[in-house]
Each structure stands twice: as C-alpha cells, then as structure tokens.
Structure 1
Amino acid sequence: MWDVGGGAEVRGHPVVTALAQVVPTTHGVDERIDWNEPEEIWGTRFPADYVAFMEVYGAGELSESIGILLPVPRPEAYSDGSGLKDETANARGTWEMCGGRRVLDVDPDSMLAWGVTSGADIYCWLRTGDDPDVWPVLVCGRHANPQFQVHSPGMAEFLHRLLTDEEFQEETISVVLPKKHSFVNWREQQRRLEAGLDPSTGEPWGC
C-alpha cells in the first residue's frame, strides 16, 4: 500500500496503480465494502481490480462522463443508489431489444454492469466462468460500432486504455472525454451539488 500523491493510497493491484498515474486519487474514498453482501446478491466473487478500485476511488464519476457503480445498493448515493442492479437490467434489455443472440451470442444472465457513461453506453463484465479476474469486458454502446463489443479482461485495464488511447475512445464511448482526467467520488459530488456547484468540476454552474 502506498501513496501516489494528493489522495488515497493504492492497495496492491498493478493496473489500479497504473490508473492512479493517469487519474488523481484526490477525491477517491474507500467504500469499505463488506464483499459478502454483493457476493450474496449476485452469487459470485468480484474481480480483484474492481475490489481495489472501490478501495482507492470508490464509486463516482470518472473524467466527467463515466459513472463507476457501487457493488451494493445505497439509496443515499448521488446519482444511482441501486448498486449494479438497474444498469445490469438496462444492459440485458438493450441486448434483447437490439437482436439478442443474433447480434451477440452470449447468455444475458452473464452480463453484470459496472459502469455507465453520460452517452448511455453501459460497461459490463461477461461472467464466463468461476474466475472473475478473467471475465471479459462487454461494451453496450449507444453509438459504438459495433454496438456490442467484447474486450480483454479487466475493468481497470479497460479504463486505463480508454483514457490513454484516443482511437480506442472513438470505438468504445459515445462522448468526448476531457484531456484532463479526474475522478470524483459520489460523496464529493453530493457535497458540491448541495453547495450549488457543478458536481463534476466543483466550479459554479456554467463556468
């Protein structure tokens, strides 16, 4: 465990450590998840990089456009307090509405959402086996081409590439990300909103 400067300490996952070199941890908060709870809800363990992300950053907004979801319901949470439930249902519904197995031959029950963008893209794991660390990342893209994409395992690796590879951005997200990357935990978003500030930037609205 070590400090990467200006915020939380990175706890031992190499890809989350690499991500912390790109995205400041200043506004990250350890969610202190009792992982027995989400494991009971979903009947599975969770990937180690996601566990580490929840310790270093927590749930909140990445680069003003990507919402990282809590693994458990918290009604008091800013934006989406349903945990993974609502966006998982949205991803499965989108897959079915857009052609189901005809467009992507997967079991819809294997989809488990962990992120959503302001452009209505949903990022999921495909639970393809018992080892969560090898689950591929599924993009359910609003304007992505193709709309459904399967990428190599690791949400942290996916996010690192998304933030550092402009060509990959064009393929996998329906909004333009700012050049300066940031993360704001949902608690800080809530504090800013209550103070009359833009939850994403901390600046007065319109600035």
Structure 2
Amino acid sequence: MTDAVNNALEHLKRLLPRPTGIEPKDWDSVRRQLGTDLPSDYKAFIDTYGGGYVDNYLWVLAPGCANEFYDLLDADEERAEANEYLWDGGEKKPAELDGTGARLIPWASTDNGEFLYWLALPGQDPDEWTVMINEARGPWWEHRDIGFTQFLAAALTGDVRSEILADAFPTDPHDFHPSADFV
C-alpha cells in the first residue's frame, strides 16, 4: 500500500469505532471465487472491521457474509447480470467501461439502492482501482479517481461529496455496525 492509502486506512481507524472478534478472510479463496485479487486496503479494512453498516447508510460488502445481501461475491454476480441487462436494454454504459475487459466489482451499497464499485481495468493492479458510484434505479454514474480507503475516509470527513449519495451521509459522530449484527 502507498503512504496515502496507509494514511487513509489509519484515518478510518480513528473515525470509525472498531468491532471486536473479527476473523481475517481467506483471501486466496476469495481471489479464486472472484477471479481476481482485491485491493490491499480493502482487505486490511475487512480484516479489521469485517463488512458492515457505516453511518446508518452505507453497507461495506464483505466476501462470505452470512447475509447474502451484503456478501461481496453474491453482489458481484448479481450486479454484473443486472448491469448487462440494463446496458443490453439501451441504458448508456459508463464511458470508463468502453475498454475491452474493463470490469465493475461492487464494494458497497446503500439503503437507497446506490452501489459503489471498483473500476478494474485489464492489467491494472487492484491497488490502482478507482471508485465508481451508480445512482439507484437510474443511469447516472460518478467516477472518483481514488481507491477504497481514500474515498471512504474522504467521504466521512466531507472532503469528498457525491451528488449521488444522500446528503445525510456522513453522520457525526460516525458509527459502524458489523454485518454479523444483521443476520
């Protein structure tokens, strides 16, 4: 991880209360199931927090979550099918996906139905993936040229604002509830 990513992860640890009893994931198994590795900052976050609910709005997805709605592997399959259906039906595909082999991998969803993705480009190291946000039930997309922890930390401090995400996000003080609390 770069210094900026490490700093963002440390900043998240100061912003969000940390749960106890989180078991590290078998990332080799996740890589085999997903067909790709994931960013190291996301893996460090999940190994520290697990998946969960941030500020009563944003669900950070985790592989192997007991609640299928917040399982990254299930969401990846479901979102790929849903997006292809929409694009095949005439909805405009984001320009960032025009390149051969570009892929979206969901890492969060919201109570309103928005999804946050990594934009994974062919040959690109997962630590270089950037963030895409899709509005709920619509064709509007935003692209942020930063990765997972940098985006999440900046969103929580208000340094990055999305026109798609709810104005009530983030809250003060911040909170985090593990997905396991909702099984």
TM-score for the superposition, normalised by structure 1? 0.71
Residues 1:139 and 2:133 are matched in the alignment: yes
Deviation (angstroms), 1:87: 5.2
**Match for residue 51 of structure 2?**
59
Letter in 1 for 2:120: R
Displacement after TM superposition at 1:91 (Å): 6.0
Of all paired residues, the percent bearing the same amino acid is 23
Structure 1: which 5+ runs fail to align? 1-11, 191-207
Give the letter aligned to residue 50 of structure 1.
Y
Aligned residues: 172
State the partner residue of 1:194.
none
Counterpart for residue 174 of structure 1: 166
| Equivalent-residue separation in structure 1 for 2:11 and 2:39 (angstroms) | 17
Counterpart residue type for residue 28 of structure 2: N
Larger Cα-atom Rg:
1
Tell me, in whole angstroms, the C-alpha distance in 2 between the residues paired with 1:29 and 1:155.
23
Deviation at 1:32, TM superposition (A): 1.4
1:49 to 37, 41, 44: 41
SS at match of 1:180: coil
**Distance change >3 Å, CA 105–CA 159, structure 1 → 2:** closer
Q: CA 1:93 to 1:121, structure 2 compared with 1: closer, same or farther past 3 Å?
A: same
Residue identity matched to 2:47? E
Distance 1:160 1:91, change over 3 A: farther
1:155 is the counterpart of 2:148: yes
Closer/same/farther in 2, CA of residues 88 and 163 from structure 1, 3 Å limit: farther
| 2:74 is aligned with 1:85 | yes
Would you say the 8 A contact 1:15–1:157 is kept in 2? yes
> Are the counterparts in 2 of residues 60 and 184 from structure 1 also a CA contact under 8 Å?
yes
For 2:16, what is the secondary structure of its paired residue?
coil
Equivalent in 116, 123, 128 of residue 123 of structure 1: 116
CA-based RMSD? 2.8
Give CA deviations for 1:48-85 in whole Å, capped at 9, x if unaligned. Answer: 1101101111111111111111123x4xx246264333
